[in-house]
Amino acid sequence: MSTIQPQGRSGPAKGKGKGGARRTENNRIYAHPLPLVFTEPQGKLLPTALGILGISPSRVEKPHCEGVFDPTTRSVWVNNSKDAMILWRRGFFGKGNLSRSEPSWLARQVNARQAAGKYMTSEEVTAKRRAERKQFKLDRARAIAAVAAEAEAAFAEGRVIDTEEMKANIPSAATWKPSTSSTQESELPEASAEQLEPDGEISAEPLEDLEHMQLTLPEAFFLSWALDCLTVLHPKTMDPMTLQELWTSFQSAHLSPHLLLLPSASQPLRTDNPFLLNYVFFHHYRSLGWVIKNGIKFCADYLLYKRGPVFHHAEFSMMLIPVYEDPEDEKSSPFNLPNAAPFTWQWLSTVNRVNSQVQKTLMLSYVTIPAQSRMTESSLTSPACFAQYSIREVTIRRFVPARMRD
């Protein structure tokens, strides 16, 4: 079975320089920042002649990937593993629904089957460490309760106890060791045991790839409209959707159920539709060369990477803050936009501290929403309305007196 090994940010391979082999391999795999590939024509005379005339000899190769629009999850599902790997390795688009980022579920299952009874996979090691931490907390709580009960009994009887000896009975993270029975139970998970045949050999039953890649609506529209390398299929008819259908369907996905009952022509088109705001944000920073991923892990809306998750950690945590040009539009809006209301200093301090502890710069990205009154109905039926939006950034840094005295 041919599988793709998942790529990560872990340490270098054994026997290689510190990060050298892994960095070189990542540079080769993720050489293209976008699904579009620019190739030079063969030969020496043609490129030179075209260069003299001011014509670029490069040729653009576009992949033709397919996805299915899912209005329930507000995403586009890419079920073909080949298309999913193209979109991931050329720009880090999307996320595997059974993985943290790269769609590597099948490769991890194959590795787990090969490691059954021999060694532990990274997921099993993580599960074992979590179980050990949980057991340590339970053992420590029991020890503290026992020492407290012994102290109360000694006080009632008038006895003098040795406090150092009682402290020694409370395990610490440096002295505590897991019991042998719990360690042996966690070394071989049930799934690995089921994969073994009665004679101890690994089951040869083929694995079915149950994972698909999910693209956010801004990612899907960027790939379809800006790069023209993604075809989105209708969820019911499975026919290719036109750009106009994508434009209206992606906006309708954010409408409330009672508005969806109206005919398509009667559904309101508003400048504060969440799809428009997120796409303006996504297109702006993606066109500047940043890789954009979800930032909910760090209490933010988005994370900005210089090259991608496999190369470096995210440098900026972004908060998308909508600003209405006309305050009356906010009162009549059917959308409850996040961060639209004025935030408190406690909230800002909390988010800033979380990101400063992980060495990320918090940035507030204000997206100005054009007034509904000066936008015509026809202007909202195409991406031409994006020209009316604007973005400005405010960088927030946490002031630490002990570090910033100089």
Same-domain pairing of 57 and 166 = no
**Could you tell me the pLDDT band of residue 383, with boundaries at 50, 70 and 90?**
very high
Contacts 24+ apart (CB under 8 A), 190-193: 191/112, 192/112, 192/113, 192/115, 192/116, 192/117, 192/124, 193/116
pLDDT on residue 43: 57
State which H helix or E strand residue 7 sits in: none
Same-domain pairing of 228 and 148 = no
pLDDT on residue 212: 93
pLDDT one-digit tens code per residue, 246-304: 999 999 999 877 666 666 555 678 999 999 999 999 999 999 999 999 999 999 999 99
Same-domain pairing of 83 and 183 = no
Res. 370: pLDDT tops 80: yes
In the chain, % of residues over pLDDT 90: 45
Question: DSSP string spanning 83-116?
Answer: HHHHHHHTT--SEETTSSSS--HHHHHHHHHHTT
Whether residue 49 lies inside any domain: the answer is yes
Res. 18: pLDDT tops 70: no
Determine the average pLDDT of the residues in 307-319: 93
Half-sphere exposure of 255 (CA within 13 A, CB side): 19
Res. 8: pLDDT tops 60: no
Whether residue 193 lies inside any domain: the answer is no
Specify the number of domains making up the chain.
5
Intra-chain end-to-end CA distance of the chain, in Å: 60
Whether residue 171 lies inside any domain: the answer is yes
Same-domain pairing of 350 and 236 = no
Stated pTM of the model: 0.76
Compute how many other C-beta atoms are within 10 angstroms of the C-beta atom of residue 300: 22
Determine the average pLDDT of the residues in 206-225: 93
Determine the average pLDDT of the residues in 171-181: 75
Same-domain pairing of 288 and 384 = yes
How far is Cα 74 from Cα 251, in angstroms, rounded to an integer?
A: 10
Which CATH number characterizes residue 312's domain? Answer: 3.40.1350.10
Q: Which domain holds residue 334?
A: 268-406
How far is Cα 392 from Cα 322, in angstroms, rounded to an integer?
A: 11
pLDDT one-digit tens code per residue, 316-366: 999 999 999 999 999 988 899 999 988 898 999 899 999 988 999 999 999
Same-domain pairing of 42 and 5 = no
Same-domain pairing of 22 and 140 = no
Same-domain pairing of 367 and 221 = no
**Could you tell me the pLDDT band of residue 44, with boundaries at 50, 70 and 90?**
low
Res. 104: pLDDT tops 80: yes
Same-domain pairing of 280 and 404 = yes
pLDDT on residue 186: 45
Question: DSSP string spanning 34-61?
Answer: SS-EEEPPSSSHHHHHHHHTT----EEE
Same-domain pairing of 275 and 386 = yes
Which range of 54-63, 109-118, 274-283, 326-335 scores highest in mean pLDDT? It is 274-283
Determine the average pLDDT of the residues in 5-17: 47
Find residue 373's DSSP bridge partners. Answer: none
Same-domain pairing of 286 and 395 = yes
Average pLDDT, the chain: 83
pLDDT on residue 398: 76
**Could you tell me the pLDDT band of residue 163, with boundaries at 50, 70 and 90?**
confident
Same-domain pairing of 304 and 380 = yes
Q: Which two tokens stand for residue 270?
A: 């508003």
Determine the average pLDDT of the residues in 12-40: 77
Determine the average pLDDT of the residues in 357-377: 92
Res. 187: pLDDT tops 50: no
